[in-house]
Amino acid sequence: MKPNKDGKYVFPATDFPSLFLPSVTSVAELLGLPKNLSQQITAFEQYFDKDFKISRSSKACLVTEGVGKPTVNKLVKVGSELSIPTSTLLSPIKLRKDRRALRLGSNAVDWLSLYAGTKCSKNDGEFTDFFKGMSHRAEADILMRKKLQTQIKLGELESTDISGVWLAQLPFWQQYSSIPNEQLATFTRYSEFSRAKLENIKTLPADYSLALGYMIFDFYLSAIACYEAALGAFYQRRFASLSTKNHLALYERVSETLSSDGDDYTCFGAMLLEVKRLISNERDDVSWRKLASFIPVDQVSQHGETLIDEQYHQLKDWKNGLNMPSMEKLERFVTAAFSYHGNYDVDAMLVYFRIAKVLDIKLNEFVAQVPNEHVTSTVETVLSSYPVYLEKYRLLLARSIG
């Protein structure tokens, strides 16, 4: 790793706009996780209750004007204390590949670094397989952008030719996404329109809205499916007798609720429904009020409500995306609910709830940006395709693990 012209070492967050491979930075921010090295160091200090002796000003400078070699040496020391394979991540071969990817405008660097880091970990868990699955898409992003750069350099393609740029990317979407071919064909047809013409359409055609929905959500459905497949593989390694045959995965049920249920659920609300289902059994069908009773309440209501009424109103707000809980409060709620019935994985459930928040954000953005009377049916159609994504990543991980 080389310093800049001022002799400083900069660790900027990679964040290029991309539908095919959004940045780790943008995804981390949506998940409510530390999005750059400065925030990550602070989070590690809090989690491990350690002081890494890196000043607040140096943390801030890591992603801006840079830091000196002494601070870099402290980072390497921190990495060794946390068993982070800094020698692998900062190897000359890895850094050369990273620089090439950055010059191409690819977000692949951080995704591949996360895979390299988890691959060296001695701890067995779902995230190694998750980042392994995501690494395939990251490598494809580099190849796609390299192809574009080569064609532009050779004069075969103009960077301003929107339709031509899309056609150059199309083979990669066909191979690495799970978007139906007819939707890619629709997107191709509309890519021939000028941007001004599309912007002047007050109501987007239903077929274009659907194709656009698939394009926007393909990455997120892929990432969720990859996580769920990786989690299932980890559980099967840990519990040899576990069988997932004929059982719907959790987000299969969530997508089913969102795409077909008569009630108007948010994704977070659909997750609450899954918690309710998990802790119910044939003899004890847990009601919504019973589920609400697991919500921790630290202060007495100022409105004269009973405790259960206050908890129930909070739960109704959560279902509707209002007055959302902190992760600390959510963890207490899930822990209490799972203690009531069932031996379930609290940490995995909290990841699922973070994912639900991300999907709700993206769905709200899509509804606001796409002026179309059919937007609800568009969203339902796109989300109903989730089982296709899950099957793809189950097969992908089974091949790569085997």
Q: Which residue stretches of 82-194 are H helix?
A: 86-89, 92-103, 108-119, 126-153, 162-176, 181-191
What is the SS3 assignment for 363? helix
Report d(CA 318, CA 320) in Å as an integer: 5
**Cβ count within 10 A of residue 249:** 19
**Is 175 inside any structural domain?**
no
Report d(CA 352, CA 357) in Å as an integer: 9
Report d(CA 329, CA 350) in Å as an integer: 11
Domain end point (choices 100, 117, 135)? 100
Higher pLDDT, 331 or 44: 331
Q: Which of 252, 214, 141, 257 is nearest to 366 (CA)?
A: 214
Contacts of 69 by beta carbon, 8 Å cutoff, 6+ apart = 3, 9
What is the overall mean pLDDT for the chain? 88
pLDDT tier at 261, thresholds 50, 70, 90: low
Report d(CA 73, CA 93) in Å as an integer: 20
Paired strand residues for 67: 9
**What pLDDT, on a 0 to 100 scale, did the predictor assign at position 206?**
85
**What pLDDT, on a 0 to 100 scale, did the predictor assign at position 198?**
55
Residue 78 has pLDDT above 70, yes or no: yes
The number of domains in the chain is 2
Tokens of 130: 């998750």
What is the SS3 assignment for 322? coil
Tokens 């892929």 locate to 222
Residue 375 has pLDDT above 90, yes or no: no
Residue 202 has pLDDT above 70, yes or no: no
Q: What is the pLDDT of residues 327-359, one digit of tens each?
A: 999 999 999 999 998 778 999 999 999 999 999
Q: What is the pLDDT of residues 279-293, one digit of tens each?
A: 998 678 899 999 999
**Is 177 inside any structural domain?**
no
Question: What pTM was computed for the model?
Answer: 0.91
**What pLDDT, on a 0 to 100 scale, did the predictor assign at position 1?**
66
Identify the H or E element spanning 245: none
**Is 7 inside any structural domain?**
yes
**What pLDDT, on a 0 to 100 scale, did the predictor assign at position 279?**
93
**Is 129 inside any structural domain?**
no
With the CA atoms of 128, 228, 40 and 364 taken in that order, what torsion angle do they form, in degrees rounded to the nearest 10? 150
Write phi, then psi, for 351 (nearest 5 degrees): -60, -45
**136 contacts 225 by C-beta, under 8 angstroms:** no
**390 contacts 253 by C-beta, under 8 angstroms:** no
Alpha carbon distances (Å) from 173 to 23, 83, 117, 215, 397: 17, 36, 27, 9, 19
**Is 390 inside any structural domain?**
no
Residue 103 has pLDDT above 90, yes or no: yes
Residue 362 has pLDDT above 80, yes or no: yes
Higher pLDDT, 47 or 190: 190
**Is 360 inside any structural domain?**
yes
Q: Which range marks the domain in which residue 93 is found? A: 1-100
Report d(CA 34, CA 114) in Å as an integer: 14
What is the SS3 assignment for 54? coil
What is the SS3 assignment for 281? coil
**What pLDDT, on a 0 to 100 scale, did the predictor assign at position 229?**
95
**Is 353 inside any structural domain?**
yes
Give the pLDDT mean for 138-146: 97
The torsion region of residue 51 among left (phi > 0), alpha (psi -120 to 50) and beta comes to: beta
**Is 61 inside any structural domain?**
yes
Higher pLDDT, 168 or 89: 168
